[in-house]
Amino acid sequence: MLWSNTPLPANLMLFAICAVSVWLAGSALARYADIIADRRNQGKALMGLVFLATATELTEIATIFTAAIKNNAALVLGNMFGGVTMQTAILAVIDLFVVRGVLTQYPRKPTHALEAALLIILLSILLGFCISGDISIGFNIGLGTSILAIAYMLCVKLLRSYDEEGDWVPVDLPDETEPAKQIFADSSITVLSTNVLILRSVVAAIVILVCGVFLVHSAEAIALQTGLGSSFIGATILAASTSLPELSTTIAAARLGAYTMAISNIFGSNLIMLVLLFPADILYREGPILAAAGRTEMLNIIFGILVTAIYVVGLLARRKPRVLGMGVDSACVLTVYVGSLFALYFVR
């Protein structure tokens, strides 16, 4: 085991370098996606759900698939399920440090609430299969991951049609005394052709993908060398590092005033996280991967459902009260996330 034989400080340094690279590449993706969305006249919510969310999930793709090939189910499931809560907590961080007002009061359409509600449904299905135990439908592929893959495609179709045809109109919107902040107004990026922007997006995505492979190897070695275990490392340190693209892109989108894209990026990333279970199940060769889920993984799913449900309430209630500079819903989400870390440490 080359990675485990490498000193712990070296593995930590490699992990940090890869994490920073992921952050920079993810920030670049946000800038490119915003300009491409404007030029292609695509809705910000759909752009956040499909293009941006898929691109920023490349780190998870690299780490999850690498761990699955190595038959490390604990690292796969810990990273995926812990990542749902981690990424949702990013919205609370944005609400605290970037947004003027309450984040969940800005969306003009209920598309985000629908995204979150569908995510809760998929997470509930996932939890049911983890509790009851998944069964193989052939080639060691589980029934649960197959159903989730089909359900995801149906969700995307529903969200796209709803975003185009929905006639819901909010009546209580926050006052916008200043125009949306355009950080690209004087940037040379805006003069680049769309093809060049797409090419740069591909390069940034490759950086995320390559660094993701190194992240999973170093994380596995860190889990072994520290004795914390793959489940805990996957749900905390690895989930945090693979969520850096979501954090950087969401911050960039929020600074632009594109709160719709920011919220859809997170919920879209979480939806994509669940569909990634299917290819991970194919690569995992010791049976249905959900059958390997333990108490830590199930607890992660429960926390994911809880923080998502809190934001559904916030999106529907649309209240203005703030706590410590952020919305009440974001404060609750941060509290749940911190509590989940303590719970996962003791449950491990």
Are the CB atoms for 77 and 229 separated by under 8 Å? no
pLDDT band at 280 (very low <50, low <70, confident <90, very high): very high
Distance of alpha carbon 173 from the chain centroid: 27
Q: Print burial letters for 237-270: b (CB count within 10 Å at least 16), e (below 16).
A: bbbbbbbbbbbbbbbbbbbbbbbbbbbbbbbbbb
Q: Shortest CA distance to 300 belongs to which of 145, 126, 62?
A: 126
Flag whether pLDDT at 76 surpasses 50: yes
The whole model's pTM is what?
A: 0.82
Tell me the pLDDT tens digit for each residue of 287-306: 999 999 989 999 999 999 99
Residues across the chain: 348
Q: What average pLDDT is seen over the chain?
A: 82
Tell me the pLDDT tens digit for each residue of 3-37: 667 888 888 898 889 888 887 887 777 677 767 76
Are the CB atoms for 113 and 312 separated by under 8 Å? yes
Flag whether pLDDT at 170 surpasses 80: no
- Residue 183: what pLDDT? 36
When pLDDT is averaged across residues 170-174 and rounded to a whole number, the result is: 52
Region at 241 (left for phi over 0; alpha for psi -120 to 50; beta for the rest): alpha
